[in-house]
Amino acid sequence: MTSPMMLATKTLAEEILDLRQERRAILLAHHYQEPEIQELADWVGDSLELARKAREFDGDVIAFCGVWFMAETAKVLNPNRIVVVPDREASCSLVESCPVEPIRAYRRMHPDHVIVSYVNTSIEVKAESDILCTSRNAVQVVNSVPKDKTILFLPDQNLGNYVKKQTGRENMKIWQGTCVVHATFPTRRLIEKLTEHPSAKIVAHPECPQGVLDMADFVGSTSALIDWCVASTAREFIVMTESGVNYSLHKLAPEKKFYFVANENCNCSECPYMRLNTLEKLRDALLNLDPRVELSEDVMRRARVPLERMLAVK
């Protein structure tokens, strides 16, 4: 028999949903979050979609289930909201690869160059940038820069090389940062996977190495990959990105088969930063309104300019 005590016990998910209502909060989750977090989220998306959702939210609290730079972006775009994250340590290897001091020095040495930064950067680097981009709009953003202007593209070398190829732009210097997840997908393992599933289509995030991108039927942002697989007439796909996308792929196309490839780094396809977030930490963040994004007015004002420029690019 169920005791009254047990009846009164709320599940973690119920606690989170109650807190969401009390706090007038929105739960935003990136596709690389644990399935149970995506299940509860008001919106699951790629970094560009989540930035837009954060900007238009008119409640009190944005609970950002992703990595820290995404939460900082949300704060800059909607500074009057409280922005909390489940785990303050959820960083990104691309952010770590690109400290602000060398970017400031580059700016001083080349005041006429245009700094195009991927959103996977610290807020300080964003504040030094002329325009930002995500994996979804990087080609359009680079094309929006006048052709005679030299570009410094940072920090992801694989995305930079991909964009350089797509745009045919020669005057583009590329920072040498990499993603610990995507850059360590070996082409050899992709070939093995294709041998096992010869009729599968290959989709890849542009942070993957050139050898992987050369084999791909489609290259795009996290959400673009999902949309392409859902719309395709193919039945099987090898998905060269973080395996958290499996949640939406299965939900939207349950009849199709999706295969993932393990990388050299963790022998898995999970982002060690994204996966720091848990339901417990999300509950605590909503309860304590901490860890909370707090940024100086000055850095927000300077980072907002390149962010808004990016959002204005069609």
One character per residue 212-241, x = contact with ligand 13P (rule: CB under 6 A): ---------xx-------------------
Instruction: Return the structure tokens found at 231.
Output: 């719309």
Is residue 134 a contact residue for ligand 13P (CB under 6 A)?
yes
Task: Give bridge partners of residue 201 from the DSSP assignment.
Answer: 237
Binding segment toward ligand 13P, per CB under 6 A, in 79-87, 131-139, 253-261, 287-295: 131-139
One character per residue 3-42, x = contact with ligand SF4 (rule: CB under 6 A): ----------------------------------------
Is residue 261 a contact residue for ligand SF4 (CB under 6 A)?
no
Q: Scan residues 138-197 and list those touching ligand SF4 (CB under 6 A).
A: 179-182
One character per residue 188-207, x = contact with ligand 13P (rule: CB under 6 A): -----------------x-x
Give whichever of 94 and 152 is closer to ligand SF4, judged by the CB atom: 94
Give whichever of 82 and 83 is closer to ligand 13P, judged by the CB atom: 83
Is residue 65 a contact residue for ligand SF4 (CB under 6 A)?
no
Give whichever of 57 and 69 is closer to ligand SF4, judged by the CB atom: 69
Could you give the CA distance from residue 136 to residue 241 in angstroms, rounded to a whole number? 14
Binds ligand 13P (CB under 6 A): choice among 179, 200, 261, 282: 179
Give whichever of 120 and 167 is closer to ligand 13P, judged by the CB atom: 120
Is residue 261 a contact residue for ligand 13P (CB under 6 A)?
no
Judge whether 50 and 66 are in contact, CB under 8 Å. Answer: yes
Could you give the CA distance from residue 253 to residue 236 in angstroms, rounded to a whole number? 11
Is residue 46 a contact residue for ligand 13P (CB under 6 A)?
yes
Is residue 270 a contact residue for ligand 13P (CB under 6 A)?
no
Is residue 93 a contact residue for ligand SF4 (CB under 6 A)?
yes
Cα dihedral 66, 68, 72, 78 in deg (nearest 10): 30
Give whichever of 19 and 174 is closer to ligand SF4, judged by the CB atom: 174
Is residue 242 a contact residue for ligand SF4 (CB under 6 A)?
yes
Is residue 120 a contact residue for ligand 13P (CB under 6 A)?
yes
- Residues lying near ligand SF4 in the complex (CB under 6 A) are found at 67, 92-94, 120, 179-182, 207, 242, 271, 273-274
- Residues lying near ligand 13P in the complex (CB under 6 A) are found at 46-47, 120, 134-136, 179, 205, 207, 221-222
